[in-house]
Amino acid sequence: MGIKKIEQILELTAKLKELLSTTTTTTTTVITADKLSPIYNLVDQIEQQLNELNITTNTKNTCASMKEKGDVFHLPLPQDFLNEEGKLALFADGASRGNPGMGAYAVFAQLPNETIVFDKCDFATMVTNNQMELRAVIAGLQEITTSFPLQLKEKIFVYTDSRYVVDGVNSWLAGWKKRNWRKADNKTPENLRLWQELDQLLANFKSIKFVWIKGHNNHCQNERCDKICNKILDKILKVK
């Protein structure tokens, strides 16, 4: 299955990096044909595994009918994810028509080589925009928690255009928990059940970083999620 293939590819890639580092230890190294042969062999194996992988969408939770034609083939990853050698990048977005009203979310994840490893979307009635933003992240982290090997959970980046989600995780959550799930004014946080569900999921990850991105600002992954959300809502509201 797809996850096993990912593990095999990661193992082969690690071997390739090790081989390259020993082959090119100095700028004066002469790379002979006998040194190149095992490198080419590993590259061929990795290419074969990638061809067999074929997991651009999750068939159990497919959003294929909501996508633009050809929209998945080149989604360059954020530079901070690449610079910090992230293992998996999660992109999430939620929307609602009315607050509360009909809502939808879309979420997908990419490996460092830009492969989309799963794709999820859903809708709900009588929800707020903030609730759908939270649900998008929760759905993505649930998928990673249950379906992905440990090595891919070591460095997760979560990208969302929701200040509510990013500030909640990075600034508010720890204080709420210290006060027994109360805000500084002693009131219960809005959407408490969703925050508690998200908090439980966060415990599954060794390193997870939440990053705010500006919405509707030509961020290709965010734009993709936004389009899927709006297509879902357009379709549902049109039917109604």
The C-alpha angle with vertex 106 and arms to 117 and 132, in degrees rounded to 5, equals 140
Which alpha helices (H) appear in the chain, and where do they start and end?
2-23, 33-53, 79-83, 129-147, 163-167, 173-178, 192-202, 220-239
Token duo for residue 70: 């050809």
Please report the sign of the dihedral spanned by the C-alpha atoms of residue 103, residue 109, residue 110, residue 115. Answer: negative
CA separation for the pair 26, 29 (Å, rounded): 6
Q: Is 2 exposed, middle or buried (0-12, 13-18, 19+ CB in 10 A)?
A: middle
Nearest by Cα to 132 from 154, 90, 172, 160 = 160
Catalytic residues: 93-94, 133, 161, 216, 226
**Cβ neighbours for 34, distance < 8 A, ≥ 6 positions apart:** none
